[in-house]
Amino acid sequence: MKKQHFIYLTDLLLIVCISVFVLLEAFVIPQSYSTITETVKLPETLSTNTEMASVTSDSYQDDNISIQLNEYRYLDTTIHVADITISDISLLKTAFADNTYGKNITAKTSEIDEQVNAILAVNGDYYGARNKGYVLRNGVLYRTTSAGSDQEDLIIYEDGSFEILKESQIDLDDDSMLQIFSFGPGLISDYAITVDQDDEVDRAMTSNPRTVIAEIEPLHYLFIVADGRTDESEGLSLYEMAQFLEALNVKNAYNLDGGGSSTMIFNNNLINNPTTTGNSTKERSVSDIVYIGY
């Protein structure tokens, strides 16, 4: 009996150790797949002199980049909207935490922003929290494992246009694609709202902080972050966000990672009030950002 009891305890301990390792590997242990050594090449004709830029607390203007921050109140929610016009699509970029593509490699949006010297940044799609879903960043394809034929992705093309497609519709050999984000869903496609009042991201509450990237037209974009989960700002459902953006006449709009991840940084300053529980303002570490910069 003692031997059987010992074997039982040994087996139980082994099962616990394996379970703990699986959880650590999935959510804690950093796994580096590749280090990013190249940056997006700017056209030779593009001036990168930012010393003559006109900068205020809510605006930035130089020969190639125009950014205006606006704050809205909608359905008891504070929404921060950055209206962006750029002269070349190479000025809209993405970056990974620690300049590394991998799993459980994260940093605060402000830290990645500083890493790449961004002018404006928002959190991305947190690709590192999932093992599936296409990852194409700055023209480099990192992950080809599909999250499913119905998964809606955002594609940004080299001409600056946006398109929201299901992964079953995406041709990964298309060299005109520069970015693919796999989170979603799409909120507006070709000026039409594509979500309804019952749509929601898995396991999320109805009213949430949100991060959205939207196209007015090629090279004219909006970065949107809505605060939520506090007494001062309730947050929005996907449909409510889509309604808000429809009023701004956006052509295409796509939902990025939200909740505690939703963060906007402008000129090294935190613009919104990121929170996970509503009890404190604190940035969550994420896998990646979308940013404007040289």
Half-sphere exposure (CA, 13 Å, Cβ side) for 251? 13
**In the sheet that 140-143 helps form, which strands lie side by side, from edge to edge?**
140-143, 135-137, 177-181, 152-157, 162-166
- pLDDT for 14 equals 46
- pLDDT for 206 equals 76
- pLDDT for 21 equals 38
What range defines the domain where residue 257 resides?
2-292
Name 212's Cβ contacts closer than 8 Å, sequence gap at least 6.
Answer: 187, 222, 223, 224, 225, 226, 241, 245, 253, 254, 255, 256
Q: Give the total number of structural domains in the chain.
A: 1
CB 232 within 8 A of CB 78: yes
- pLDDT for 13 equals 52
- List per-block mean pLDDT (blocks of 10 residues) for the chain, which spans 294 residues: 54 43 46 63 74 95 97 98 98 98 97 98 97 97 97 98 98 98 97 88 74 98 98 96 98 97 98 93 97 97
